[in-house]
Structure 1
Amino acid sequence: MLAVSSEPFDSPDFIYEIKWDGYRCLAYIDGKTILQSRNLQDLTRSFPDLSYFHHSVKGQPLVLDGEIIVLDDTGRPSFNFLKARGNLIDEWKVRRAAARAPALLVVFDVLYYRGQDVMARPLEVRKGWLQEAVRPTDNLIISGFISTYGTRFFESCLEQGLEGVMAKEKGSPYLPGRRSSYWRKFRRTREGQFLILGYQPGTGRRELGALLLGEYLDGRLVYRGKVGTGFDREEERHLLAELEKLPSLLPHQVEGLAGIRGVRWVEPRLVCKVEYLEETPEGRLRHPSYRGLC
């Protein structure tokens, strides 16, 4: 189940919990533990430290929904630490990383309980079953929540350096694979202005796939990533019309473009406004969204 973006609000009909900055994960528990990502990839081998929940969780067989996180030295979720673990393949390196940067599964919903599909039951009922099923351990915890006061909770989360808040309607069902206003997300975002270095064509009904972004740093033109959301059909056509007027730019004039193909490069004359979550250690924008030409 997915959420829609929203401005913070207060309502007695909603609960509010931390939006955890990690890998979304379903845990299938029935005498063994299997972890599956949102795009149906098996995460169990990547996170062997999270593969023993069947020894402590009650109500099997059951399916839990949650987020895999790795904490930094300040006790906050670090997506970069998590990604470094998730990218490992070699079994010895995976186990060494698990000892050095242990993962946690933060669970916030139960979809099957005692072998029964409970997704149609109200969220507040499922939360009760979640408390019955899960005994918190060093690497398995239940996401806490409050009721009614979403605005102040969001402000408190930002003060703690967290990503944001999830608001969920108390009486709502679980709708697998669907984005619904039953779940709403408030996120901390940043905004910046970036040069458009080129674009990738779209596929299917989309004419524009993504814009490639750059920025001058100490006189050097540096690649900052690409943005593929935030423009509708009309804006796609407007951008393409403007970009096609520009002369081509050779990729070697931009730092950090290794391995990027299928791009029409342009002279960096157009500047666009982009909203994003944060920067990666490589200087790329994370979760960017286009907000218009400047």
Structure 2
Amino acid sequence: MTAGRSNRLPVFQIRPMLAVTSRPFDSPSFIYEVKWDGYRCLAYLEEKTILQSRNLVDITPVFPDLADLHQLFRRRPAVLDGEIIIPGADGKPSFSLLQARGRLGDPFKIRQAARQTPAIFMVFDILYHQGENVMAEPLHLRKEILGAGVQAAANLVVSQFIVNQGINFYQACVGQGLEGVMAKELNSPYLPGKRSPLWRKFRHTLTGEFIIAGYEPGRGERSLGALILAVYQEGRLVYRGKVGAGFDRREEQELLAGLQRLPAAPPPFKEDIPELKKTRWVEPRLVCQVEYLELTPEGRLRHPGYRGLRWDKESEECNSP
């Protein structure tokens, strides 16, 4: 091992390593594993389990069904990187179930949901092992360390991988209706908080995180017409279109209530956009996930569908597409 030891884990100081988007490819220098549709999470395991979101929020109280992860790893203190998922009725990760859990605040309802739809921590990397920082070690060695330390259980699963056959693996994942594939260079170190081509993601559906810059009131029975979407480019907000489909009546009411609590703001876009005449602008704090077919030449999302708020992400992270 190359890094030094510490008596205490650096809780709430590590941001996860991120990937760039890529087309599927084959390479003997890469491993390929499923891209899980969940909440990215670092698990700090010592005398108890602490779960930290990618933007350094303690989400431990939301997942009491993962409170025993520290008992399932033999070589503590440790920090594991993975994805929290909740399987749906078909056995595949259900982001809607996960989002519903994330919205809960009442401890009784959280415990009830944990019994009805238990979460799984799908672990794929290790950052600290027996108190030692192993982020500088190559990925293949970190995988060996991880596999030797995990005691598999219903709520802790090690993500499996293959080597070289990235294209076939991607096609197999698409065939099973999974979100996509992660490709990772075998000798890559772990670069906390960095988006690096050492890690690449293949997605069979286009999804992205977008800032909600404003909204349009609804008509008739609808109280919320559409969300105004944006991303940051070179320090300024760029318009990406509107999304008015994908949220049910309850989500519509919750979204509208949350938006109305935000301070009003001036129009954020430099150019004049004729279709935005009835918009109510708000401070760009909220981030939502949107599924779409493609990005048009004008920079608008084609056939967008709302998939939920991403309370685990900050607006400054929304800089693509």
User: If the length of structure 1 is used for normalisation, what is the TM-score?
Assistant: 0.74
Amino acid at match of 2:64: P
Task: Report what 2:118 is aligned to.
Answer: 102
Task: Report what 2:162 is aligned to.
Answer: 146
1:1-80 mapped onto 2 (5 Å cutoff): 1-80=17-96
Matched, 1:206 2:235: yes
Q: What's the RMSD between the two structures over aligned residues?
A: 3.5
1:96-245 mapped onto 2 (5 Å cutoff): 96-190=112-206, 206-214=235-243, 240-241=270-271, 243=273
User: 2:306 and 2:233 mapped to 1: Cα distance?
Assistant: 30
User: 1:153 and 1:38 mapped to 2: Cα distance?
Assistant: 27
Task: Give the C-alpha shift of residue 290 in structure 1.
Answer: 7.9
Runs of 5+ unmatched residues, structure 2 = 1-16, 208-215, 217-225, 246-251, 256-268, 285-296, 310-317
- The SS at the match of 1:280 is strand
Matched, 1:85 2:101: yes
Task: Give the C-alpha shift of residue 106 in structure 1.
Answer: 0.2
Deviation sequence 1:135-166 (CA, Å, 0-9, x none): 11010000000000000100100100000000
Contact kept, 8 Å, 2:243 with 2:304, in 1: the verdict is no
Task: Report what 2:6 is aligned to.
Answer: none
Task: Give the C-alpha shift of residue 281 in structure 1.
Answer: 7.8
User: 2:172 and 2:181 mapped to 1: Cα distance?
Assistant: 10
Instruction: Name the CA shift for 1:201/1:117 in 2 (closer, same or farther; >3 Å).
Output: closer
User: If the length of structure 2 is used for normalisation, what is the TM-score?
Assistant: 0.69
User: 2:183 and 2:99 mapped to 1: Cα distance?
Assistant: 26
User: 1:31 and 1:273 mapped to 2: Cα distance?
Assistant: 49
Matched, 1:274 2:304: no
Contact kept, 8 Å, 1:199 with 1:209, in 2: the verdict is no
Contact kept, 8 Å, 2:40 with 2:53, in 1: the verdict is yes
Task: Report what 1:235 is aligned to.
Answer: none
- The SS at the match of 1:146 is strand
Instruction: Name the CA shift for 1:71/1:273 in 2 (closer, same or farther; >3 Å).
Output: same
Task: Report what 1:261 is aligned to.
Answer: 282
Task: Give the C-alpha shift of residue 280 in structure 1.
Answer: 2.7
Task: Report what 2:212 is aligned to.
Answer: none
User: 1:58 and 1:81 mapped to 2: Cα distance?
Assistant: 30
Contact kept, 8 Å, 1:275 with 1:290, in 2: the verdict is no
Count of equivalent residues: 249
Deviation sequence 1:67-99 (CA, Å, 0-9, x none): 000000000001110010011110000000001
Task: Give the C-alpha shift of residue 37 in structure 1.
Answer: 0.4
Runs of 5+ unmatched residues, structure 1 = 217-222, 226-238, 252-256, 264-269, 283-287
